[in-house]
C-alpha cells in the first residue's frame, strides 16, 4: 500500500498519489436535500437516539441520587447506587450503543456540538446541521420528560438531572471544563471517522463508536464534579426545560458556549493542522501562481 505524503517539501508543496479519497465538502446550503427521504430519516434517527440517550442517562443520575440519599434512613447510603463511575459509564455506554446504531443512517451525532464541528469542517450542510440540532433538542426534552413521568416522586427532589455549575467553582472554570471536554469528544469523532484511517485500517469503521463512547466516559469522570458534565447542549437544554429552575437556566449559557467553542477548536485542529488543510491550500495557491 502506497504511503500518502501530505507535503513532500514545505516550499514545493508536492503531493503523491493517495491510497484513500476524501469525500467532497458538503454544500453550504443544499436545497435539494429537502426533497430526499434520507434527510428526514436521518433527522428522525437523531431525535430518537437523543431521546433514548437522555432517558437512560438522566434516569441513572436520579436513581443514583435516590439510592445514596442518607436522609432516608439507609445506613449504607454513602456506598449505595452506581456512583460517579456508574454515571460516567451510563453516558459513555449509551453513546457507544447509539452511535453504533445510527452511524449508517445519520452519522450518529446525537449532540449539537458534534454537528456544529462537522458543519465547520464541511462534513454536513447548513440545512442538515440545523435540522439535526432541532431534532436533538426536541429528543432531549422528550427523553427527560419520560424520566419525569416515570419518576415523578424523585425527579424534582434530586435535581432533575439538570447541569449546574458546582458552587465550589467559578464560571470561568466551568466554561473551561466544557470547552476542553467537548474538544476531547469532537477531536475523537474526527479521528475515529477519518477516511484516511478507514482506508488503511479496516477495523477502524467497526470500532469508531468505541473510542467516541470512551471519550464521553473519560470526560464525565473529569468534569462531573465541576459542571455535572454537559459537552452536549441538547442534554443540558432538555434537562433545563423539564426541570425549569432558575439555577439551571442561569448556567445554561455555559453549556452552549463552551461546547461550541470546543467543537470549533477541535474541527480547526484536525482539519488545518493534523490534516494539513492550511498547507495544502497554500501549496495549491503557489502552484496556480
In whole angstroms, give the CA distance from residue 19 to residue 31: 33
The Cα–Cα gap between 217 and 270 comes to: 21
- Please give the average per-residue pLDDT across 209-223, as a whole number: 95
Lowest pLDDT segment from 112-121, 167-176, 231-240, 280-289: 280-289
Q: What is the pLDDT of residue 50?
A: 97
Higher-confidence residue of 22 and 38: namely: 38
Sequence-distant (6+) residues with CB within 8 A of 71 are: none
For residues 185 and 216, the answer to whether their CB atoms sit within 8 Å is: yes
How many C-beta neighbours within 10 Å does residue 168 have? 8
Report the range out of 3-7, 66-70, 119-123 with the highest average pLDDT. Answer: 119-123
Tell me the pLDDT band of 30, cut-offs 50, 70 and 90: confident
If pLDDT is split at 50, 70 and 90, which confidence band does 285 have? very low
Q: What is the pLDDT of residues 152-162, one digit of tens each?
A: 888 999 999 99
What average pLDDT score do residues 262-275 get? 92
Q: Which domains does the chain have, with CATH numbers?
A: 31-69+79-282 (1.20.1080.10)
Query: Cell 426545560 identifies what position?
Result: 241
State how far the Cα of 79 lies from the Cα of 95, in Å rounded to an integer: 26
Angle at 139 (CA atoms; ends 211, 123), nearest 5 degrees: 50
Give the list of residues 6+ apart from residue 74 with CB closer than 8 angstroms, or none. Answer: 67, 80
Closest to 206 in 3D by CA, of 111, 115, 114, 96: 96
Q: Between 278 and 61, whose confidence is greater?
A: 61
Q: pLDDT by residue (tens digit) across 193-203?
A: 887 766 555 55
Higher pLDDT, 109 or 14: 109
pLDDT at 112 over 50: yes
Mean pLDDT (the chain) is 85
Go through the chain and tell me how many residues it has. 289
Stretch among 63-77, 149-163, 209-223 having the lowest mean pLDDT:
63-77
Confidence of residue 120 (pLDDT cuts 50, 70, 90): very high
Share of residues in the chain with pLDDT > 70 (%): 80
Predicted local distance difference test score (pLDDT) of residue 15: 43
Q: Answer whether 185's CB lies under 8 Å from 179's CB.
A: no
CA distances from 142 to 56, 138, 239, 246 (A): 12, 6, 10, 20
Give, in order, the Cα–Cα distances in Å from 283 to each of 5, 25, 267. 13, 19, 21
Cell numbers 455549575 correspond to what residue? Answer: 165
Helix (H) or strand (E) holding 195: helix 195-200
Task: Examine the pLDDT at 19 and tell me if it is beyond 70.
Answer: no
Give the predicted TM-score (pTM) of the model: 0.85
Q: What is the mean pLDDT of residues 150-177?
A: 92
DSSP state of 269: I
Mean pLDDT of 217-240: 96
Amino acid at each position: 500500500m502506497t504511503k500518502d505524503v501530505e507535503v513532500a517539501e514545505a516550499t514545493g508543496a508536492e503531493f503523491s498519489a493517495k491510497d484513500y479519497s476524501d469525500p467532497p465538502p458538503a454544500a453550504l446550503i443544499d436545497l435539494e436535500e429537502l426533497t430526499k427521504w434520507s434527510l428526514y430519516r436521518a433527522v428522525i434517527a437523531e431525535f430518537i437516539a437523543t431521546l433514548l440517550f437522555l432517558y437512560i442517562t438522566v434516569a441513572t443520575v436520579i436513581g443514583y441520587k435516590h439510592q445514596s440519599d442518607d436522609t432516608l434512613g439507609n445506613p449504607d447510603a454513602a456506598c449505595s447506587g452506581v456512583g460517579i463511575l456508574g454515571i460516567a459509564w451510563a453516558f459513555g455506554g449509551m453513546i457507544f450503543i447509539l452511535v453504533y446504531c445510527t452511524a449508517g443512517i445519520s452519522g450518529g451525532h446525537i449532540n449539537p456540538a458534534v454537528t456544529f464541528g462537522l458543519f465547520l469542517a464541511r462534513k454536513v450542510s447548513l440545512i442538515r446541521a440545523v435540522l439535526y440540532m432541532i431534532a436533538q433538542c426536541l429528543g432531549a426534552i422528550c427523553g427527560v420528560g419520560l424520566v419525569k413521568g416515570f419518576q415523578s416522586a424523585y425527579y424534582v427532589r434530586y435535581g432533575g438531572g439538570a447541569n449546574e455549575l458546582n458552587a465550589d467553582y467559578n464560571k470561568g472554570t466551568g466554561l473551561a471544563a466544557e470547552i476542553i471536554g467537548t474538544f476531547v469528544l469532537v477531536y475523537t469523532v474526527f479521528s475515529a471517522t477519518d477516511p484516511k484511517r478507514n482506508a488503511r485500517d479496516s477495523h477502524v469503521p467497526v470500532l469508531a463508536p468505541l473510542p467516541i463512547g470512551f471519550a464521553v466516559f473519560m470526560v464525565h469522570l473529569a468534569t462531573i464534579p465541576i459542571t455535572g458534565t454537559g459537552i452536549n447542549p441538547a442534554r443540558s437544554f432538555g434537562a433545563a426545560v423539564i426541570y425549569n429552575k432558575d439555577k439551571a437556566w442561569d448556567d445554561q449559557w455555559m453549556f452552549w458556549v463552551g461546547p461550541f467553542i470546543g467543537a470549533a477548536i477541535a474541527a480547526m485542529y484536525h482539519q488545518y493542522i493534523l490534516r494539513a488543510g492550511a498547507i495544502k491550500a497554500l501549496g495549491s495557491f503557489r502552484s496556480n501562481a
